[in-house]
Amino acid sequence: MVTDPTLAKPFFDEPKNFVYKDIQAIYSHQHPSLFTLPSMDYYKAIRKGVAPAFNSSNLRQSFGRLSMLMTSAVDYIGRKGSGQSVDIYTLATRLTMNAISLSIFGADLGDSADAWETRPKYACLFEPAIKWVIDSAPVPFIRYLTFIPAIRRKQAELRALHAEQVRMVQRLRTCNPSLSSLGGHLLALMDPATGKPLTDGQLEAEMATFFFAGYDTSSSAISWTLALLATHSHIQRQVEAELAGLGLLATPEQPRPRALTWQDLGSLDYLRKVIKESQRLFTVAATGTGRMLTKPMRVGRYDLAKGTLIHIPFNPMHRNPSAWDRPEEFSPDRFDVEGADYLQPDASKDAESSAGAHEGVNSSGALAEDAELHGGNLFQEKLSSQPAAGMDRTERSQIRRYMPFSYGQRNCVGQNLANVTMLTFIATICAKFTLALDPEMGGLEGVKECAVVALTLQPKDKMLLQCTSRSGPAAQAPA
């Protein structure tokens, strides 16, 4: 296990290890996926083929519909009544699943206006199935012991998930998605081994990957970010001030501010830092990545043999005191410094140094292919023009400490959509409501205690927030 950013760096060039094959059964009963494949021709063809669906031009085209989706969710919160509790985790799950549905099919799930706090069918099927696949991964042969009633039930749950994924493929085949959508790009993919379009089985594996990655990670990240804002009133007030400066904040005098636009995303500097800091403290991809060495390697004082399995968990790396000053503190200002995603020459200078040396995973990037919003990436840090003291530019550019979406060629291809979704929804809800944690959650310590790892770091069951309308008389930040 490696949690030191400097020691971890060389391992990212190595292929994924065989552990990923153990969870392949969740995506398809017969085919690997973009997530489970090693870096081979098929993986590269899939990655290259779908990447354009997440560039800024295509995301901008769909932003209007995405924004309407956010508004619908926020309107639901408003209808519940000012100060009422909302299960933000369940709402965010339905929201993000609708967002990925828009990206694939060009249409949302067709939910009723009051369905926001009920878990979507796919999530209800996926979550018990992924738990079963993970639990049985160390001894996968037990999945075939169906004469045992409990195992028979688990396998039936897995088959029900696969049946739903097959129906999703059938929907994709008949919905005629636009060529610029993720669905359009999936249908246009060619298997490099056959030169033919992907089969239904191959499409099932890829669509399941995008659906799970699209809803599970983003819904959890939204929940953690809003919970942190609800428990840090001074930071919530700074977000409020930023929104007010852009004319986006609801007030008693202006209960209907102007709507958030695509162009506004590039101006939400402080909120972007809040999301990044939330992803550092509650890294959704907490378990990190696994690699297998293809050659002997000396790292630090360790000699590692070919075939050694390496585990790089991101959550401990993001809380490593040798890499971060005050690692347990929620401090968005640590990302004020240029290059803050890079390892600092002195971890105690997070908030002081004018230059950094460590970026994580295309960082929390969004819109990575273009140069339209903050250099093309809503969350990407630029290096300062001067090297940090004690480190030359080459060292700075190679050592990374922040990687919420993994790092290198295997980073999350859909991170741009994830970041646009998170930024848009969090801005929209914060513009309309003051957030406070429901007493049932048990304060900040209760939030920490409800974190569970089920492949990703997610709230256990729910995340209850009290949402008070800013346009009413009680629109005050919580004390």
- pLDDT tens digits, 98-140: 999 999 998 888 776 678 988 889 889 988 888 888 888 888 8
CA dihedral 470, 473, 476, 478 (to 10 degrees): -100
Q: Rounded CA gap, 86 and 434, in Å?
A: 13
Whole-number pLDDT of residue 42: 86
What's the mean pLDDT in 138-158? 90
Whole-number pLDDT of residue 134: 83
Residue 372 confidence class, pLDDT cut points 50, 70, 90: very low
Whole-number pLDDT of residue 237: 98
Q: Rounded CA gap, 306 and 383, in Å?
A: 35
Kindly tell me if the per-residue pLDDT of 472 is higher than 60. Answer: yes
**Per the structure block, which two tokens stand in for 430?**
């914060």
Non-local (6+) Cβ contacts of 342 within 8 A are 356, 357, 358, 359, 381, 383, 396, 397, 399, 400, 401, 402
Q: Rounded CA gap, 136 and 250, in Å?
A: 50
**Per the structure block, which two tokens stand in for 47?**
């990655």
Whole-number pLDDT of residue 161: 92
State the pTM of this model.
Answer: 0.86
pLDDT tens-digit profile of 180-201? 899 999 999 999 999 999 999 9
Q: Please, what is the average pLDDT of the chain?
A: 84
- Burial class for 463, CB neighbours closer than 10 Å (0-12, 13-18, 19+): buried
Among 70-74, 160-164, 386-390, which stretch is predicted with the lowest mean pLDDT? Answer: 386-390
**Per the structure block, which two tokens stand in for 376?**
């093309």
pLDDT tens-digit profile of 56-83? 999 999 999 999 999 999 999 999 999 9
Among 40-49, 218-227, 434-443, which stretch is predicted with the lowest mean pLDDT? Answer: 40-49
pLDDT tens-digit profile of 264-273? 999 999 999 9
Residue 235 confidence class, pLDDT cut points 50, 70, 90: very high
Q: Rounded CA gap, 226 and 115, in Å?
A: 20
pLDDT tens-digit profile of 2-55? 889 888 888 888 877 666 677 777 776 667 777 777 667 888 899 999 999 999
Whole-number pLDDT of residue 35: 77
Residue among 85, 52, 93 at smallest CA distance from 425: 93
Q: Is 412 a known ligand-binding residue?
A: yes
Q: Rounded CA gap, 376 and 367, in Å?
A: 5
Among 177-191, 380-394, 420-434, which stretch is predicted with the lowest mean pLDDT? Answer: 380-394
Residue 395 confidence class, pLDDT cut points 50, 70, 90: low
**Per the structure block, which two tokens stand in for 226?**
């809003």
Residue 381 confidence class, pLDDT cut points 50, 70, 90: very low
What's the mean pLDDT in 220-233? 98
How crowded is residue 63: how many other Cβ atoms within 10 Å of its Cβ? Answer: 17
Among 284-288, 331-335, 433-437, which stretch is predicted with the lowest mean pLDDT? Answer: 284-288
Kindly tell me if the per-residue pLDDT of 387 is higher than 70. Answer: no
Whole-number pLDDT of residue 428: 97
Kindly tell me if the per-residue pLDDT of 350 is higher than 70. Answer: no
Non-local (6+) Cβ contacts of 13 within 8 A are 408
Q: Which domains does the chain have, with CATH numbers?
A: 5-31+39-469 (1.10.630.10)
Non-local (6+) Cβ contacts of 362 within 8 A are 368, 377, 380, 405, 407, 411, 415
Whole-number pLDDT of residue 397: 45
Cβ 401 vs Cβ 360: under 8 Å: yes
What's the mean pLDDT in 171-181? 91
pLDDT tens-digit profile of 253-266? 999 999 999 999 99
Residue 451 confidence class, pLDDT cut points 50, 70, 90: very high
Kindly tell me if the per-residue pLDDT of 359 is higher than 70. Answer: no
Whole-number pLDDT of residue 368: 33
Q: Which residue has the higher pLDDT, 473 or 72?
A: 72
